[in-house]
Homo-oligomer: A and B are copies of this chain.
Amino acid sequence: MADLDSVLGCLDLNLDRSVERLQDLLRIPSISTDPAYAADCRRCAEWLAGDLEAIGFQVRVADSAGHPMVIAHHDGAGPGAPHVLFYGHYDVQPVDPVSEWESDPFDPQVKAMPDGTRRITGRGSADDKGQLMTFVEAARAYIAETGSLPCRVTIFLEGEEESGSPSLLPFMDAHRDELTADVALVCDTNMWDRDTPAISAGLRGLVGEEVTIRCADKDLHSGYFGGAAANPIRILSRIVADLHDGDGRVTLPGFYDGVEELPADVRETWANLGFDDAAFLAQAGLSVPAGEKGRSVLEQTWSRPTAEANGITGGYTGKGFKTVIAAEASAKISFRLVFKQDPAKIRESFRQFVRERLPADATAEFHPHGGSPAIQLPFDSPWLGAAREALSAEWPKPAVMIGMGGSIPVVGEFKKRLGMESLLIGFGLGDDRIHSPNEKYELTSFAKGQRSWARVLDALGRKGR
């Protein structure tokens, strides 16, 4: 523990310098989705590579079909220590509407707030440059104080996370050996609250499916044909409506195969999180949980599968009115998956469900939009236990293991392609306004995040392989 204490002391002593480094990084407008910023993305990758090299990593900026990847290796203290892969992304969201920013999104500031907190402002401060730098700073201090790292560490930073990661999977396949470690650390998530660190242990999977219903071979006049012609909007509406029963359960045959009830202890943990259903819904102007009857919001969003229509369109949707019977109508439907639900089976069950509801003269065309199973970290994973203890030592309240309603595709791919479990640990807060104007990262998140990673690396190193 003497080593860890000196590393933590070093981090505290150098906090101002680490903030300056983060500000340097935030000044680079690495907006991945806009080709006008391609050179900035590369500059950002090179900045990170240079910094990691200065710390003592073996680094390269690896070209991909899109923006480059940064891969850095450090052998760590010895062969008995585990190998961890740290994943983050250096690209950021666009900043529109710029007029809503209180200060320049690419001129980061440290602002003192009336309540005594301080925050680092700027695009990418929380998502994900501030978060990834918590790990880099921990590694820097570790090497500075001890000459090495307690684990073998590979750092893998991509530059396309905010634009769909088109190059990630081919790159992962082409560099499987280089990227495979004993466990992955992913720093792109939030704390439970200001005082309580969180490890996301379950991530819902996702099946995306677009369905287009076609009837007539052209749009028809509803006066001339109305009453005689099949209407694809009606057919599609019936399909969407039929997807749920009166209790909010999904009606696809076999949909709940592999869906388990929560273990009693997890249910109790969640019940004790003090989660406020009403406050959560109120964020969106809502008041009543709209999912499966008799389930809490946390169950509905963390441990229960869903079916949602994310988009629907058909016929005339402009201003005014047009009495047309459309030739086609389409919907984008997504299924959030949990536990062992099989994405392929669910996609096929949906298609069959649609086909069974097609009247004469109607056809359905399907277009898949991704499919990934849920991730569920074993509750008895030793990595999980070690990380939990380390985080609990740093923060006012013990770490909680939570579920996540969303899907982080890279976590599924780490599991599927590289056979690695992931620990999702992040220090963001719910009000960081990622993807929105006035994104910020709390100085506490940044400082205690660095200390947290030092503790986690220490704990994982002591765990051995």
Give A contacts to B, CB under 8 Å: 164, 204, 206, 208, 210, 215-218, 220-231, 233-234, 236-244, 277, 280-281, 284-292, 297, 300-301, 304, 306, 308-317, 320-326, 329, 331-332, 334, 336, 359-361, 369-370, 404-407
A212 to chain B, nearest CB (A): 12
Q: Within the complex, which residue of B238, B325, B369, B370 is in contact with A241, where a contact is CB–CB below 8 Å?
A: B238
Beta-carbon nearest neighbor of A286 in chain B: B361
Oligomer copy total: 2
Chain B residues positioned under 8 Å from A204 (CB to CB): 223
Q: Can you give 20 contacting A-B residue pairs, CB < 8 Å?
A: A204-B223, A216-B284, A226-B301, A227-B304, A228-B277, A228-B290, A228-B301, A233-B309, A233-B311, A233-B312, A237-B237, A288-B360, A308-B325, A310-B322, A311-B314, A311-B324, A312-B313, A313-B313, A317-B332, A320-B369
Assuming A227-B291, A291-B227, A311-B314, is B222 touching A336 (CB within 8 A)? yes
A223-B407, A225-B405, A237-B237 given; A312·B311 CB < 8 A: no
Give the residues in chain B near A291, CB-CB below 8 Å: 227-228
Which B residues are in CB contact (< 8 Å) with A292? 227
Contact B336 A287 (CB under 8 A): no
CB nearest to A360 among chain B residues: B288
Contacting residue for A310 out of B240, B301, B321, CB 8 A: B321
Q: How long is the Cα–Cα vector from A353 to B306 in the complex, in angstroms?
A: 27
Q: Which of B224, B300, B311, B326 contacts A317 (CB 8 A)?
A: B311
- A225 CB contacts on chain B under 8 angstroms: 284, 301, 405
Q: A221-B406, A234-B308 are in contact. List 16 more A-B contacts (CB 8 A).
A: A204-B223, A223-B336, A226-B301, A226-B405, A227-B291, A227-B301, A227-B306, A228-B289, A228-B297, A233-B240, A237-B238, A241-B242, A286-B361, A288-B360, A312-B313, A312-B317
Candidate in A206, A323, A324 with the most chain B CB atoms within 10 angstroms: A323
- Distance from A117 Cβ to chain B, minimum over Cβ atoms (Å): 24
A310 touches B300 (CB 8 A): no
Indicate which residue in B226, B244, B308, B315 contacts A222 across the interface (CB closer than 8 Å). Answer: B308
A315-B315 in contact (CB<8A): no
The reply to whether B228 and A280 contact each other, CB–CB distance below 8 Å, is yes
In the complex the two chains form, is A321's CB within 8 Å of B359's CB?
no
Q: With A and B bound together, what is the CA distance between A158 and B226 in angstroms?
A: 27
Q: Report chain B residues within 8 Å CB of A316.
A: 310-311, 332
Bound-state CA distance A269–B304 (Å) is 60
**Do A287 and B369 touch across chains, with their CB atoms under 8 A apart?**
no
State the CA gap A288–B229 with chains docked (Å): 8
The contact of A370 among B228, B321, B325, B406, by CB within 8 Å, is B321
- Bound complex: CA A290 to CA B230 (Å): 5
Q: How far is the CA of A308 from the CA of B300 in the complex (A)?
A: 35
Q: Roughly how many angstroms separate A208 CA and B315 CA in the complex, as a whole number?
A: 14
Distance in angstroms from A225 CB to nearest chain B CB is 6
Contact of B312 with A334 in the complex, beta carbons under 8 Å:
no
Report how far A307 CA is from B119 CA in the complex, Å: 56
CA–CA, A244 and B359, complex, Å: 14
Question: In the complex the two chains form, is B310's CB within 8 Å of A222's CB?
Answer: yes
A310 near B284: Cβ-Cβ < 8 Å: no
How far is it, in angstroms, between the C-alpha of A294 and the C-alpha of B422 when the chains are bound? 61
How far is it, in angstroms, between the C-alpha of A292 and the C-alpha of B227 when the chains are bound? 7
Residues of B within 8 A of A301 (CB): 224-228
Alpha-carbon distance A238/B234, docked complex (angstroms) = 10
